Amino acid sequence: MAILLLPFQGFADRDQSKKPPEHRRILAFLEDSKWVQNVSSWLLRNYSKGVLNQKDIEALSSFEKNRVIRESGKGSIGVLLYEFASASGPQTRYFTNGDALTDLIISSPGIHKLVLDYCSLNQIDSSTRNLVKTSSLLDYRYQFSPLIVPLDFSTWQTSLNRHIDALEMRSLVQVFLGSFNADVFPLDDTTVRIHVWNRTSKKSLFGGLSSSFYRPMFLGTTEQHITFDLSLQQMHEIRTGKHVIH
């Protein structure tokens, strides 16, 4: 998840917790503050309602949430954000080709980059007619946000470019997913299966400058697993797309 969703940043420094208050870093103090945690949770809950056009997610039953997830990609993001902020719903959700969120993810900049790298690895081009000789690509990493802990300045320009890509494509799902991991493997001669997974956590929310919480605490870590198939033709279309992928 991109760190732009909230105006607060925290820093976990547990070794400093027993020192006098004047020796504690101000960011560590903010992270330990229940007020900051409560405000973060409140902002996310209300942002998620905005994504759902002010619909009161609290009133949605589990059945209605599942219907929203099947039918609306944007609504799915609203439900997932609300569940993360309020520690409600399942800790892990799974999405497949039949879900609206999956359609958004397939058209996101991150998946475009993944497909390009997979095609490059296996020398797939316009002349490729089958996937008989292709190999798998396992534990692929798409880094969306810059690495702050540990600090890696080389990731900052790439992150800026990828944020611009997401904004230009109006890819809200990419902003929600942020960085992710993926596996790609041939399913048959003309199809690959892609498994994408990521964690939405307090640590990712604050750009790596915080610790993660576990359910049932507010902002407790949730997981998303998205599995879908792409045909060789679909990969060709993505590979030759006009959008510039960083």
Predicted confidence band of residue 108 (pLDDT cuts 50, 70, 90) = very high
pLDDT tens figures, 7-42: 333 333 334 444 444 444 444 444 444 544 444 444
Q: In this structure, what are the phi and psi dihedrals at residue 96, rounded to the nearest 5 degrees?
A: -135, -170
The confidence score (pLDDT) of residue 103 equals 92
129 or 167, which is more confident?
A: 129
Is the separation of the CB atoms in 121 and 225 below 8 Å? no
How would residue 156 be classed by pLDDT, with cut points 50, 70 and 90? confident
27-36, 59-68, 216-225: which is most confident: 216-225
Contacting residues for 242 by C-beta, under 8 A, at least 6 apart: none
Which residue has better confidence, 190 or 51? 190
Assign 3-state DSSP to the chain and report helix, strand, coil percentages, each to 5.
45, 15, 35
pLDDT at 185: 95
Predicted local confidence at residue 8, as pLDDT: 31
The candidate with the shortest Cα–Cα distance to 194, out of 184, 209, 204, 179, is 184
pLDDT tens per residue, range 77-90 = 888 887 887 788 88
Highest mean pLDDT among 54-63, 89-98, 194-203: 89-98
CB proximity list for 169: less than 8 A, separation 6 or greater: 107, 108, 109, 243
CA distance 169 to 188: 31
**Taking a C-beta distance cutoff of 8 angstroms, is the pair 222, 197 a contact?**
no
What's the pLDDT score for residue 80?
Answer: 85
Q: What average pLDDT does the structure give for the chain?
A: 75
- Please report the pLDDT score of residue 1 as a whole number: 56
- What pLDDT, on the 0 to 100 scale, is given for residue 206? 54
pLDDT of residue 57: 57
Strand partners, 193: 185, 229
Mean pLDDT of 240-244: 63
